[in-house]
Amino acid sequence: MPEITDKELPQSVKGFWLKALSAVEVKNHAYAVTLLQAILKENPGFLVGRELLRKCESIITGGPKKKQKIFGLDTGGAPGMKVQSTAKKDPAAAVVMIEKEIEKDPYNVGYNDLLHDCFVKLELFDSAAFALETLRKGHPDNVKMMHKLAQFYVSRNKPDTATDVFNDILKHDPTDGAAIKGAKDCSAQHSMQRQKWDENTDVRDLRKDQSEVENLESASRTGMTTDQMLEKRDRLIGRYNEDPNNLHNAKELAGVFEHLEDWENATTFYTWAHSLSNGDVALLAKSRQMSDKFIATQMAALEKAVEEDPDNAELRAQLDEVLSSRSAEMVVNAKQRVDENPTDPQLRFELGKALYNSGDYSAAIPHLQQATRNPYIRTKVLLLLGRTFKAKQMFDLAIKQLSDALADLTAMDSTKKEVLYEKGLIHNEMGNKEAALECYKQIYEVDYGYRDVAQRVESSYGS
């Protein structure tokens, strides 16, 4: 699970990130927290977002609670047994639970300590450091946590940073023997690192290794050319063949296949990574997502073949059979995922969508309604909910959902056009031609070629 920057956020999330930044700008910190929580749930490695979230929470709550400042002893706020148990089995899920608790007290010792441990298990080491750095800032006299942070930096081969932490400990307790020894040892190690080249070091080898690291880091970022991605794929395949049980290599390779939209291989390697990870739910979700995309691609190819040969009854029958089978399978899979995590709005949305596609509109509605709680997917949930009410001939309720979706949209992007177009169609169904035309005109003003809006708008002037 890699740590990412704002530039590496999925395109579908960037709008919410910008909304969060705008909310902070106007000091609407509570709304920013809601948006950031949703973004981080799907992108746990987005450290910049987590840092901003903590700042907003600190402003809202008024900063550290003084009751915890008792020289290394946590006097309250210890994580509950459910969170601790989840952290052992599923650290990714535990991070989400912990963040909800930290929202009430961003400098809570027990929860930040547990958050650090979860991030270490997820190999999000910068995020792990941030959890303890939060305590360093809020509770600098908590000796136990300060020592844990210093030792973490030592384990990450950052003696200079560890030295700073040990020195901070000594500011509060100049007699701390472990801190005195740690500061001395780390200072010496840092000096050795700065002098670096020993007689056994080949500078050319070091440059070669550094070049390899830089290539991999560069290739992990978005905006790469296809050739760069293919080069990275080939390098990782070589590493994977040398050590197929290396979890990091399997995840990296799965990610490359995902970027290349090779859904079949992406499914294979995310599934393998999940089996190596001792049950990482994030990897399981990725595996399922890639499998869905692989099947969707196959179905699209079959639909295209039918479109090109519409008189082929055998091909049409094959498509109908695949669609029916796939629809039923998606409902079963989505129900299973909801049973595993009934409080996840994203899974509720997927189940609602699967039920809608299968034609079971009444069953889809309650799941879609629950899914609107997640601001990250709220707009597309409302769009589908509107279509669901439309399918049940409940046009007034459909219009209400689409109006709510439009209230959340500002820029005239593809989503807003789709919502407006759907709203126009429903107004037409209701016989409200004027309201329908108003929807089409809003699209026409910015995108003449969108579907058939030009014909709809222009014909209204000729009638």
Lowest mean pLDDT among 93-97, 133-137, 221-225: 221-225
Q: What is the pLDDT of residues 403-444, one digit of tens each?
A: 999 988 878 888 899 999 999 999 999 999 999 999 999 999
Average pLDDT over residues 244-255: 88
**Do the domain assignments include residue 94?**
yes
Between 398 and 70, the higher pLDDT residue: 398
Q: Indicate whether 1 pLDDT > 50.
A: yes
**Do the domain assignments include residue 104?**
yes
Q: Which of 50-59, 239-248, 280-289 has the highest mean pLDDT?
A: 50-59
Q: How high does pLDDT run on average in the chain? A: 83
pLDDT band at 216 (very low <50, low <70, confident <90, very high): very low
pLDDT score, position 286: 85
Q: Which domain holds residue 60?
A: 6-139
**Do the domain assignments include residue 126?**
yes
pLDDT band at 51 (very low <50, low <70, confident <90, very high): very high
Between 296 and 442, the higher pLDDT residue: 442
**Do the domain assignments include residue 248?**
no
**Do the domain assignments include residue 34?**
yes
Q: Indicate whether 462 pLDDT > 70.
A: no
pLDDT band at 207 (very low <50, low <70, confident <90, very high): very low
d(CA 427, CA 398): 10
The set of long-range contacts for 238-247, using a CB threshold of 8 Å and a minimum separation of 24, is 245/276, 246/276, 247/273, 247/276, 247/277
Q: What is the pLDDT of residues 360-373, one digit of tens each?
A: 999 999 999 999 98
Instruction: Say what percent of the chain tops pLDDT 90.
Output: 34
The set of long-range contacts for 325-330, using a CB threshold of 8 Å and a minimum separation of 24, is 326/295, 326/299, 327/354, 327/357, 327/358, 328/358, 330/292, 330/354, 330/357, 330/358
d(CA 210, CA 380): 44
d(CA 425, CA 436): 7
- Spatial CA neighbour of 173 closest among 149, 204, 195, 140: 140
Q: What is the pTM of this model?
A: 0.45
Q: How many domains does the chain have?
A: 1
d(CA 83, CA 91): 9
Please give the C-alpha separations between residue 265 and each of 103, 251, 293, in angstroms, as whole numbers: 39, 12, 11
Average pLDDT over residues 268-288: 83
Which residues make Cβ contacts (< 8 Å) with residue 209, sequence separation at least 6?
none
Q: What is the pLDDT of residues 140-177, one digit of tens each?
A: 889 999 999 999 998 888 888 888 899 888 887 888 88
**Do the domain assignments include residue 455?**
no
**Do the domain assignments include residue 202?**
no
pLDDT score, position 194: 54
Q: Indicate whether 98 pLDDT > 90.
A: yes
pLDDT score, position 224: 61
pLDDT score, position 198: 42
